[in-house]
């Protein structure tokens, strides 16, 4: 895994095309968001519509600390993780006793409540938004790079951490526990699985990673507005990508993010930015109907049929 990451980094540096960094950053961001979503959604079966809230919390946490004194982004990422993680824990505590559909609606509700709170909080800019100025160049492992390349590296590292975490969970006892919650929570309890505790772990981890993805965002975009941070688009993407890739393993969100993310980048450039949302929506509906287990599921089916 790490080898692949280093290879990508080296290749990117050698190519040194700024647009590539901008586009790749977005896709890497989606990898983190969909992997994070999948921990609660795919592994445990609890659909979270509030991705945007956790993402925005990470972003606004950065804005908040930045007002006091600028900090290196890795620190901000950790802070963003802590803030979003705690919120994830709190949200989980309040909502995880609810039946599946109610939980999902509650997550949507929380996302809107947070958005309203932020919009009304002038310290972080409120509805007017907040500016973050960043240096032209930055240092990374001793090499001077464009700022966007620096952000790209960070996001790449984050994506790798997220993927490794998801993979580790999947193969561990925790992963088995999550799967029982998804399959049959009542039976899981009867077998001794502490379902509430596991669900809280899932929401905290999921929220923390989403916050981590959001923390560098103000630097990436320069001007942070609630509409862009809290956009429902994050929710639909973080749900569509794992569903298209496959929700059962860590590979699914990765594939979904790359496929759908690239398709969206292409559509934004060639058609319009509204079109890319249409694509996401259509693909989500199509895959959910035709291929409920995503691309990986289709792949499995083809492989199973080829066996003699």
Interface of this chain with another protein, residues 200 to 239, rule: CB under 8 A: 232, 235-236, 239
Cβ(210)–Cβ(55) under 8 Å? yes
- Using alpha carbons, select from 229, 226, 245 the residue that is nearest to residue 284: 245
Nearer to another protein, 89 or 232 (CB): 232
Contacting another protein (CB under 8 A), which of 24, 106, 155, 257? 106
Instruction: Please tell me whether residue 304 binds another protein under the rule CB under 8 A.
Output: no
Of 35 and 115, CB closest to another protein: 115
DSSP string for residues in 77-141: HHHHHHHHHHHHHHHHHHHTTS-HHHHHHHHHHHHHHHHHHHHT-GGGTTTT-EE----SEEEET
The beta strands (E) that lie in 153-265 are given as 223-224
Least distance from C-beta 233 to another protein, angstroms? 9
For another protein, which is the closer residue by CB, 81 or 169?
169
For the chain, the farthest-separated pair of C-alpha atoms sits apart, in whole angstroms, at 66
Buried b (16+ CB within 10 A) or exposed e, 8-31: bbeebeeeeeeeebebbbbbbbbb
Whole-number Å distance between alpha carbons of 74 and 250:
24
Q: Is 247 in the site for another protein (CB under 8 A)?
A: yes
* Among 289, 303, 306, 308, contact with another protein (rule: CB under 8 A): 289
168 binding another protein? (CB under 8 A): no
What is the secondary structure of 11-67 as a DSSP string?
HHHHH--HHHHHHHHHHHHHHHHHHHHHIIIIIT------HHHHHHHHHHHHHHHHH
Size of the site for another protein (CB under 8 A): 63
Q: How far is the CB of 219 from another protein (least distance, A)?
A: 27
Applying CB under 8 A, among 20, 182, 258, 268 the residue interacting with another protein is 182
161 binds another protein (CB under 8 A): no
> Residue 155 interacts with another protein (CB under 8 A)?
no
Q: Does 100 bind another protein (CB under 8 A)?
A: yes
Interface residue list for another protein (CB under 8 A) = 41, 45, 47, 49, 94-95, 98, 100-102, 104-106, 108-110, 112-113, 115-117, 119-120, 127, 173, 176-177, 179-180, 182-184, 186-196, 232, 235-236, 239-240, 243, 247-248, 274-275, 277-278, 280-282, 284-285, 288-289, 292
């Amino acid at each position: 895994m790490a080898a692949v990451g280093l290879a990508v980094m080296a290749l990117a540096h050698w190519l040194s095309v700024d647009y590539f960094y901008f586009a790749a950053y977005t896709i890497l961001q989606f990898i983190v968001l969909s992997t994070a979503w999948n921990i609660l959604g795919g592994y445990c079966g609890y659909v979270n519509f509030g991705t945007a809230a956790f993402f925005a919390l990470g972003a606004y946490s950065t804005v908040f600390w930045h007002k006091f004194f600028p900090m290196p982004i890795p620190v901000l990422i950790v802070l963003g993780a802590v803030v979003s993680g705690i919120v994830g824990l709190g949200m989980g505590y309040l909502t995880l006793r609810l039946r599946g559909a109610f939980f999902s609606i509650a997550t949507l509700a929380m996302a809107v409540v947070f958005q309203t709170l932020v919009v009304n909080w002038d310290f972080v800019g409120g509805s007017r938004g907040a500016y973050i100025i960043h240096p032209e160049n930055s240092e990374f492992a001793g090499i001077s790079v464009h700022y966007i390349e620096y952000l790209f590296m960070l996001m790449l590292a984050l994506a790798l951490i997220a993927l490794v975490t998801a993979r580790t969970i999947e193969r561990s006892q925790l992963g088995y526990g999550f799967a029982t919650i998804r399959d049959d929570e009542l039976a899981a309890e009867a077998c001794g699985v502490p379902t509430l505790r596991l669900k809280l772990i899932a929401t905290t981890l999921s929220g923390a990673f989403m916050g981590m993805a959001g923390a560098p965002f103000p630097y990436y975009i320069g001007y942070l507005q609630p509409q862009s941070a809290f956009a429902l688009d994050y929710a639909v993407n973080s749900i569509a990508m794992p569903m298209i890739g496959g929700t059962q393993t860590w590979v699914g969100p990765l594939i979904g993010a790359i496929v759908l993310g690239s398709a969206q980048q292409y559509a934004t450039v060639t058609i319009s930015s509204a079109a890319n949302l249409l694509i996401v929506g259509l693909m989500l509906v199509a895959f959910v109907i035709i291929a409920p287990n995503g691309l990986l599921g289709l792949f499995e089916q083809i492989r199973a049929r080829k066996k003699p």
